[in-house]
Amino acid sequence: MAKNKADGLALNHLPGIPEEEEPAEVVPKKKKRTKLIVLSIFLALGGISGGVWYFLQPAEDAALRAAQEEASRPPIFVALEPFTVNLMKSDDGIDHYLQVGIDLKVADNAAGDAIRQHLPEIRNSMLLLLSSKRSDELAPMEGKKKLSEELQTQANKPLNLPVGKKGVVGVFFTSFVIQ
């Protein structure tokens, strides 16, 4: 207890004068430093994440704009003269023929020009492919889809396109008659 030197009275007995308080527990500096480091790490990670998001955002926008431009551009088609071919004999032994109209969807005008330049080669390879089929192969929907894919491959072969460049992107039948 503390005493007043002047009157020798104990201060804790006087009203309105607080007693001396014992020192409060002090948080060690090591704990404060650890909390500060953890908080700094979280703030840094948040800043890095925000920066990555910000810098990647324009790239996504550019890709989205390019896709929208391509989607808004009208498609380009190259119409081929109709094909009439004898098909291979089926199991029924009857001769069949195929008359088919084909339109090629191309990636751009340059691909359309390349198709026109190589048209005799493309028609020849398509003619050979069509005449190697049997009527029972071509009658179901799956057969027609498979034929469309094969014709697309045949149309792209003479173009000698670099890897990743598109030429013919679709083959569409405008007529398809098997007799």
Task: State the CATH number of the domain containing residue 101.
Answer: 3.30.479.30
The residue among 76, 81, 101, 71 whose CA lies nearest residue 168 is 76
Lowest-confidence range among 46-55, 100-109, 135-144? 46-55
Last residue of a domain, one of 25, 45, 73: 73
pLDDT digits (tens, 9 = 90+) for 146-177: 999 999 999 999 998 877 788 999 999 999 99
The per-residue pLDDT for 17 is 55
Q: Are residues 106 and 165 in the same domain?
A: yes
**Is the model's pLDDT at 13 over the cut of 70?**
no
125 belongs to a structural domain: yes
Q: Are residues 155 and 84 in the same domain?
A: yes
157 belongs to a structural domain: yes
Judge whether 135 and 90 are in contact, CB under 8 Å.
Answer: yes
φ, ψ dihedrals at 51, nearest 5°: -65, -45
48 belongs to a structural domain: yes
Q: Are residues 142 and 83 in the same domain?
A: yes
The residue among 174, 157, 169 whose CA lies nearest residue 70 is 169
The per-residue pLDDT for 77 is 95
Q: Are residues 85 and 172 in the same domain?
A: yes
Structural domain boundaries, residue 65 = 34-73
**Is the model's pLDDT at 21 over the cut of 70?**
no
Q: Are residues 82 and 148 in the same domain?
A: yes
Per-residue pLDDT band at 14 (split at 50, 70, 90): low
The per-residue pLDDT for 22 is 56
Entry pTM = 0.61
Q: Are residues 117 and 166 in the same domain?
A: yes
* Helix extents (H) in 73-118: 109-117
Q: If you average pLDDT over every residue of the chain, what do you get? A: 83
Q: Are residues 60 and 108 in the same domain?
A: no
Q: Are residues 59 and 131 in the same domain?
A: no
Strand stretches in 48-146, DSSP E: 76-79, 83-86, 97-106
**Is the model's pLDDT at 10 over the cut of 80?**
no
Domains identified in the chain, total number? 2
Q: Are residues 69 and 156 in the same domain?
A: no
Q: Are residues 68 and 80 in the same domain?
A: no
The per-residue pLDDT for 53 is 75
